[in-house]
Amino acid sequence: MSEYRNYDMKKITKLPAFIHTVDANDVLTDVNDHWLRFAQQNDAPHLTRQVVIGHSLWDFIAGFETPHLYKLMMQQVRQSQRRLVFTYRCDSPNFRRYMQMEIVPLAHQGLEYRNYLLREEPRDRVRLLDPTIGRNQELLMMCSWCNRVHCDNVWLPVEDAVKTLGLFALSELPQITHGICPDCALSFKNLT
């Protein structure tokens, strides 16, 4: 979380927002064009309006810990009727992406998610983050918020974890499962 600078909300709201909305039952009711373009740019061209609208948000969020944390945040926004804002990482194999999400209450317990790309840094391709690479049965825990990888009882940046675990030489990589590292868990606790 320390990788984020203080961002001015007036500047952020001028950035393109990747928006999706859900109803009181967490069913997707809308996605905007920026959301669709972001999905296409991230190896998910199959995620069209026709595919996602009318389906549960939980059909599109993997793992156990991430949906659990989202449900806690959504409950807080619905109960307080106040927006919740936090930063997170949404990396691709070729880019580090620093993002901000706002969860905004709507009428009838609906929610709007506004995601902003704050900063993007190119990097050497990280095969571990490529969804098209073959996977073995091993599991590798990655933090849902900062994208660090749990490795030998520490949380390392993905590039360092790949080196430490010797993943360069593998033809099939471990499956990525998501959780939350202690630093981000503390930040999450301070949000709620």
Q: Which residues contact 173 (CB under 8 A, 6 or more apart)?
A: 127, 128, 133, 134, 135, 136, 140, 167
Whether the predicted pLDDT of 147 surpasses 50: yes
For residue 101, the model assigns a pLDDT of 94
For residue 5, the model assigns a pLDDT of 47
Distances (CA, A) of 89 to 46, 80, 179: 22, 26, 13
Distances (CA, A) of 141 to 31, 47, 146: 29, 25, 12
In the chain, domain spans: 9-125, 127-179
For residue 172, the model assigns a pLDDT of 87
Considering the domain delimited by 9-125, tell me its CATH architecture.
2-Layer Sandwich (3.30)
Q: How confident is the model at residue 169 (pLDDT cuts 50, 70, 90)?
A: confident
Whether the predicted pLDDT of 189 surpasses 80: no
Whether the predicted pLDDT of 7 surpasses 60: no
Q: What does pLDDT average to over the chain?
A: 88
AA letter at 162: V
pTM recorded for the entire structure: 0.82
pLDDT in tens, 15-28: 889 999 999 999 99
pLDDT in tens, 126-140: 989 988 888 999 999
For residue 178, the model assigns a pLDDT of 86
For residue 1, the model assigns a pLDDT of 40
For residue 124, the model assigns a pLDDT of 92
For residue 4, the model assigns a pLDDT of 46
Query: What is the mean predicted confidence (pLDDT) over 42-59?
Result: 92
Whether the predicted pLDDT of 75 surpasses 80: yes
Task: Name the residue with tokens 């095969």.
Answer: 127
